Amino acid sequence: MITNVAIGILEHDNQILFVKRNNNSYQGLWGLPGGKIERMEHLDEAVIREFKEETKQEVNFKELIGVISELINEKDRNEHVILYLCTLEVPVPQDISDGNLSWIPKNEINMRNDIIPSDVLILDYYMYKKTRNFYLRLESVQTEDGTYLAKESLPYG
């Protein structure tokens, strides 16, 4: 089974908004806000809804910039996830005072070990390769000691 997930990037002052994962895989790590696309829900509606649920921020959909096919192999979870990476904008700037939200400077993302590894790879495409409408294949695993690792998966041939 494939799970469709909408994730959003909100930028401000050369930083990206992250949410701390507390109740699922990647617990305690920072990740891009987002979640499952519900039945009969459009992508733009899903990313706005999920972003608001996780951040309490009112946002507008800007554009779909990439599609990521991620194979996840964890201790209790084997799943194929299709992630739709969207950029968002804020109609009215709002204060971020929640301890589960953090603005992380773009130039620090690759140096941190408290961000979901697949999100780091996704943001690498977004920030440094300056690619739009990209397709990325990822494989993510959880090691025996609970550490999460991710790598780009190259196509066969």
Structural domains in the chain plus CATH codes = 2-152 (3.90.79.10)
From first to last of its 157 residues, what are the pLDDT tens digits of the chain? 899 999 999 999 999 999 999 876 788 999 999 999 999 999 999 999 999 999 988 999 999 999 999 999 887 788 999 999 999 998 766 667 678 999 999 999 999 999 999 999 999 988 887 667 888 999 999 888 888 899 998 766 4
> Up-side HSE of residue 96: CA atoms within 13 Å toward CB?
21
Q: How many other CB atoms are there within 10 angstroms of residue 65's CB atom? A: 16
Residue 108, SS3 per DSSP: helix
Amino acid at 4: N
Residue 2, SS3 per DSSP: strand
pLDDT value, residue 22? 87
Contact 126, 148 (CB under 8 A): no
The enclosing H or E element of 86 equals strand 77-89
